Structure 1
């Protein structure tokens, strides 16, 4: 059987004698971007390559986005309230200043009075606002928020109080009711 390599016919013995080797830059040539002048020729070559059984080159992927550092922890003794918009409102685009003004106005607080004690944090991935405050009365006022008006736009909010930091999620199996709270914590 005769094989044609770059227009030159060779025999089976010459093809399989072990003298053929891949070049070091074969992968670079394979994935090289086509020149703009010969873009139609490159497209024709790709179709002929696929007809000959050669795989089509894949495009390179973008590098993954850098991992974001975790947000700093809020004071553990404070009450925390989480607000989540129920519409298509993207909180990171609005900014913390506008959001804190709108939330304080909705809850009925004066922003300069509570800005020293209440901390508001926007979580861009979850699209939530966490408000941390030491006063239980302000926490109850924040829990009553149902809608926030920001720049002539009203957005419905789902508001809840998350579990404390030192709590356990889920069901505790084999827990006994005859133990006091202090014994359970110790």
Structure 2
């Protein structure tokens, strides 16, 4: 199975859904400690891209510039769509679903998609769930009122829609305001509980909410309840470079 790290989504199908309990409870822990420990300031390392001082004239003999201009318009349109996304309930447990092909989520009505997800997870009360479809990356996010329903949803691998079965992957979204980093060549044979406990004990100055192996690799993705990804992380007695994990748009 394909595994992606930098600038991609991690493959959640490699994980045991029972191990999602820690990250499900992370948002509440994060909100309790964020103000006292790290404050609420935005990430100081994020800088706006400076504007260009001059624009190169675009002519009929510069197809490369025309192509770049088209790409910029597409990126701008996508960015505007993302900005217009309505917020989900702050206190819900959020489960992200990605279609693995054959089903364009952006063409579906949210209530029908939610019905398909509920049927697959054997859930009966729609009042406890809120669904939002992403306009660009063919994903949707379901906010569940309780942890039990979220754990059922994150185990889904297929849904049936309009009498056709479609493959889906699901994962628990990290808490709002958190960041994720990746260390490589680190995992051996630790359980998820041992992995997280080792990271927390060896890095007392970092607010580590969750950590797990990426697919079948030796890389580990770590969720931090703070504004920035630390440059160094100690794991298993070894010092590792920690680089930001950036999901694919």
- TM-score, with length taken from structure 1: 0.55
Alignment of 1:1-186 (within 5 A): 64=73, 66=77, 67-68=80-81, 69-110=83-124, 113-114=125-126, 116-170=127-181, 177-178=203-204
Q: Which has the higher contact order (CA 8 A, sep 6+)?
A: 2
**Structure 1 residues 93 and 171, CA, compared in 2 at 3 Å: closer, same or farther?**
closer
Whole-Å Cα distance in 2 between the matches of residues 75 and 82 of structure 1? Answer: 14
Distance of 1:185 and 1:98 partners within structure 2: 35
List runs of 5+ in structure 1 lacking aligned partners.
1-54
How far the C-alpha of 1:180 sits from its partner, in A, is 9.0
Whole-Å Cα distance in 1 between the matches of residues 130 and 103 of structure 2?
21
Does structure 1 retain, via aligned residues, the 8 Å contact 2:130–2:144? yes
> Which digits, 9 at most, give the CA deviation of each residue in 1:111-138, with x for residues without a partner?
xx22x22110111201101000120000
Larger Rg: 1
Q: TM-score, normalised by structure 2?
A: 0.42
Deviation, 1:92, is 1.6
Change (3 A) 1:171 1:106: closer
Shift of 1:83: 0.6
Q: Deviations over 1:24-70 (max 9, x none)?
A: xxxxxxxxxxxxxxxxxxxxxxxxxxxxxxx88x9x999x4653243
Aligned-pair CA distance for 1:109: 1.1
| 1:170 aligned counterpart, secondary structure | strand
What's the Cα RMSD here? 3.5
Query: Contact 2:104/2:138 (CA < 8 Å) preserved in 1?
Result: yes
Which residues of structure 2 form unaligned runs of 5+? Answer: 1-59, 184-200, 208-223, 227-249
Q: Separation in 2 of the partners of 1:127 and 1:171?
A: 24
